[in-house]
Structure 1
Amino acid sequence: MVSEERSFVLKFDGYSRAKALLNNGQLVISTPFSVGGHKWTVRYYPNGVLKNYAEFIFLYLHLESADAEDVKAKFSVSVLDKNGEPVPSYSRTNPMRTFSEGSVWSSALVIKKADLEASWHLRDDCLTIRCDLPVMKEIKSEETRVAPSDLHQHLGDLLKNKDAADLVFQVGGQRFSAHRCVLAARSSVFKAELLSAMKESSAASPIEIRDMEADVFKSLLHFIYTDSVPLLETACNKGETDVVMAGHLLVAADRFNIVRLKQICEEKLGNHIDSNMVATSLALAEQHGFHRLKEACLQFLASLSNFDAMVASDGYEHLKSSCPSVLKELIARMIPSEFKSANDVIMAI
């Protein structure tokens, strides 16, 4: 943003004639002048704007450019004396403000007609004023026209086309090509494995990833290369299938220490807790130390009706057998605080 400032001297000839011919609320508009790429005028009301102010002259700055938006300008207007100098008592400076459609007026310079007419400032029945108008102007630089980053697209194409791939993974009967340097840059676990002990063996034979579904590993690779997981990030995807995938991806992201993907999956699961999935999500949170997800599940189950529905769900037996401690914690939370001793007994069992 830079400031363009210009000054103009405007003369309103025939002061007495305008005063006699124009009624209260009628105006004279100055010749337009240009500052900051916009057209401006001064609007002169010789008999005031409102009935209660008919004894006063009003002078406003007006933005004439109809399509202008958020134009920042500062405005000073002064009556000039016989020497062409501003008269302090007949001067007004507006602070910097924003002009736009529907808000195009400055604050007025208000002058009592009787005082002005008794002064020496009306020369040859002419009112002479000066406008000083600094306008903030936006300068478009090359930087503002730079296209958004497309790195994720190029890396995504690299994964899709398998160009220069130097690794092959075997996952659930499917093979996936990848690039050692990309995986090492995105995951500390892959970095430790691919740049050390697995370096020689991985080049010769596929690396087998066990205990993971092929579609989960495919989504994991997609995130590593593009930093996105469309299945979970699309607002309309709220089905149970996507929640299940979020759970699998959360475990995979934790396994390979991909922090942002863990946060995305944990948020997805935390925002879609229901009676059918809460037992599974709670077991997942407890087993892998996902504290935010665990707390969200426990808060949901604080309702007795939600708790009863969870007990009747398919995931309850798995939760009970795999994470009995979290069930004790949940029951202890549901016991009123006055039964603290019973709470301690449950937690000690």
Structure 2
Amino acid sequence: PNPRSPPWRRPSAITGGTVTGHYVYQVDRCSRTKQEVPSGRCIVSPSFSVGGYSWRISCYPNGLGSYCADYVSVFLVLGCAVAEPVKARTRFSLLDRAGRPVPGHSQSAELIEYFKVGVGHGLNNFIKREFLERRSISPAPLSDLQRHLGNLLVAKEGADITVRVAGEEFSAHRCVLAARSPVLKAEILGAANTVNCIQIDGMPAHVFKALLHFIYTDSLPEMTGQQESEMVEPSIQTADSYNIQRLKLICEKKLSRDVNEDTVAKMLRLAAQHHCLILRKACVEFLQGSSAMEAIMVADDGLFEMVAKSCPALLKELARRDYWPVHEPG
């Protein structure tokens, strides 16, 4: 567009229907673009359609001309031929990395008639270049939902259910437990909906405490290396029992890093019992070495029978890869 002879006409009235639309134009490598594109030159967005007409955005990183070289200029340009003038009003907004308008950096342009292809109208002084160069647009802060829920668990504020495990009592919120575990949901939000205390048997208290921490924060509690190695295996069992798949996957990945000749038999058994696909894959890949296979058979001569009974599909997979002889367990 020529700022001294604008290629548009201001309409005297608004007639016909109104169509609204929006388009997000992301300029990659903004700093490099400002260095490479001189004042008076523009970069152009892909075409987009609003109201049945083709449009594009022309952006001048160093201003439309020398008189606005300290600004970024933006224009809406008609991208197709029209039989009759098209009326349009635009609003330009600078968005942050979360896609939200940056306060103080949205401007509206007046209603304009676009009467031929290439006609553009917009803002010479849209954004101060200095503002962008300061990189004042910081990314959206990370969600603190996990921290807030973790604090809620610690403070026990609003807790409305008690869970008894191995002689210890844990206060919790039934809505959180129900949202995170379909098994717990069925138990505490059943038809009667009168349960204020539930008993969990066969689980150490410290394992449930770690489970509860994960339910509220989506992460395992901080542990030493030894504590983690002792906690991961029972956590897989617990996650499988209460259908908390993300916890199960996290634990599987941790165990998969520790598969070796001393642990693969135990890991394979665990994978078969709790349908751990990631852990099973790690074990099967480890068993490619015949020497490892022989060592495992010597160390655990009951492993074949266990796998054959609890996970026939795994047995077939091992046999298909020639890692295990095919025969019926005695």
For the residues of structure 2 that align with 1:318 and 1:197, how far apart are their CA atoms? 45
Q: TM-score, normalised by structure 2?
A: 0.55
* RMSD of aligned Cα (Å): 3.9
How far residue 300 of structure 1 moved from its aligned partner, in angstroms, is: 0.7
SS, match of residue 34 in structure 2: strand
For the residues of structure 2 that align with 1:71 and 1:146, how far apart are their CA atoms? 24
Q: Which residue of 2 aligns with 1:277?
A: 263
Q: Which residue of 2 aligns with 1:127?
A: none
How far residue 226 of structure 1 moved from its aligned partner, in angstroms, is: 0.7
Q: Does 1:216 align with 2:207?
A: yes
Deviations 1:9-52 (A, max 9, x none): xxxxxxxxxxxxxxxxxxxxxxxxxxxxxxxxxxxxxxxxxxxx
For the residues of structure 2 that align with 1:177 and 1:317, how far apart are their CA atoms? 45
Q: Which residue of 1 aligns with 2:142?
A: 148
Q: Indicate conservation of the 8 Å contact 1:328/1:347, yes or no.
A: no
How is 1:8-87 mapped onto 2 (pairs within 5 angstroms)? 70=32, 72-73=34-35, 74-75=37-38
For the residues of structure 2 that align with 1:210 and 1:293, how far apart are their CA atoms? 27
- Cα distance change on mapping 1:348 and 1:318 into 2, 3 Å: closer
What one-letter code is carried by the residue in structure 1 that aligns with 2:161?
A: L
From 187, 198, 210, the equivalent of 1:207 is 198
Q: Does 1:262 align with 2:257?
A: no
Q: Which residue of 1 aligns with 2:233?
A: 247
For the residues of structure 2 that align with 1:307 and 1:253, how far apart are their CA atoms? 29
For the residues of structure 1 that align with 2:192 and 2:95, how far apart are their CA atoms? 54
How is 1:1-12 mapped onto 2 (pairs within 5 angstroms)? none
For the residues of structure 1 that align with 2:236 and 2:208, how far apart are their CA atoms? 11
Q: Indicate conservation of the 8 Å contact 2:213/2:221, yes or no.
A: no
From 161, 164, 183, the equivalent of 1:170 is 164
Q: TM-score, normalised by structure 1?
A: 0.52
What one-letter code is carried by the residue in structure 2 that aligns with 1:214?
A: A
Instruction: Report 1 or 2 for greater relative contact order, CA contacts < 8 Å, sequence distance ≥ 6.
Output: 1
Q: Indicate conservation of the 8 Å contact 1:168/1:207, yes or no.
A: yes
How far residue 133 of structure 1 moved from its aligned partner, in angstroms, is: 6.0
- Cα distance change on mapping 1:245 and 1:309 into 2, 3 Å: farther
What one-letter code is carried by the residue in structure 2 that aligns with 1:346?
A: H
What one-letter code is carried by the residue in structure 1 that aligns with 2:327?
A: I
For the residues of structure 1 that align with 2:158 and 2:209, how far apart are their CA atoms? 18
Q: Indicate conservation of the 8 Å contact 1:275/1:309, yes or no.
A: yes
Q: Does 1:303 align with 2:311?
A: no
For the residues of structure 1 that align with 2:246 and 2:320, how far apart are their CA atoms? 31
- Cα distance change on mapping 1:146 and 1:297 into 2, 3 Å: closer
SS, match of residue 169 in structure 1: strand
What one-letter code is carried by the residue in structure 1 that aligns with 2:178?
A: A
For the residues of structure 2 that align with 1:150 and 1:175, how far apart are their CA atoms? 27
Q: Indicate conservation of the 8 Å contact 1:75/1:132, yes or no.
A: no
For the residues of structure 2 that align with 1:132 and 1:158, how far apart are their CA atoms? 53
How far residue 299 of structure 1 moved from its aligned partner, in angstroms, is: 1.4
For the residues of structure 1 that align with 2:71 and 2:302, how far apart are their CA atoms? 69
Q: Indicate conservation of the 8 Å contact 1:171/1:214, yes or no.
A: yes
For the residues of structure 2 that align with 1:330 and 1:244, how far apart are their CA atoms? 29
What one-letter code is carried by the residue in structure 1 that aligns with 2:181?
A: S
Q: Which residue of 1 aligns with 2:50?
A: none
Q: Indicate conservation of the 8 Å contact 2:162/2:169, yes or no.
A: yes
SS, match of residue 163 in structure 1: coil
How far residue 309 of structure 1 moved from its aligned partner, in angstroms, is: 3.8
- Cα distance change on mapping 1:159 and 1:139 into 2, 3 Å: closer
Q: Which residue of 2 aligns with 1:64?
A: none
For the residues of structure 1 that align with 2:146 and 2:308, how far apart are their CA atoms? 43
How far residue 282 of structure 1 moved from its aligned partner, in angstroms, is: 0.9
For the residues of structure 2 that align with 1:95 and 1:151, how far apart are their CA atoms? 40
For the residues of structure 1 that align with 2:259 and 2:294, how far apart are their CA atoms? 15
- Cα distance change on mapping 1:136 and 1:265 into 2, 3 Å: farther
For the residues of structure 1 that align with 2:264 and 2:142, how far apart are their CA atoms? 39
How far residue 252 of structure 1 moved from its aligned partner, in angstroms, is: 1.0
What one-letter code is carried by the residue in structure 2 that aligns with 1:212?
A: M
Q: Which residue of 2 aligns with 1:12?
A: none
How far residue 183 of structure 1 moved from its aligned partner, in angstroms, is: 0.5
Name the structure where strand makes up a greater proportion of residues: 1
How is 1:80-99 mapped onto 2 (pairs within 5 angstroms)? none
How far residue 139 of structure 1 moved from its aligned partner, in angstroms, is: 7.3
Moved more, 266-275 or 326-335: 326-335
How far residue 319 of structure 1 moved from its aligned partner, in angstroms, is: 3.6
How far residue 333 of structure 1 moved from its aligned partner, in angstroms, is: 4.5
SS, match of residue 286 in structure 1: helix
Deviations 1:287-319 (A, max 9, x none): 122223212211112212322443455xx3664
Q: Which residue of 2 aligns with 1:184?
A: 178
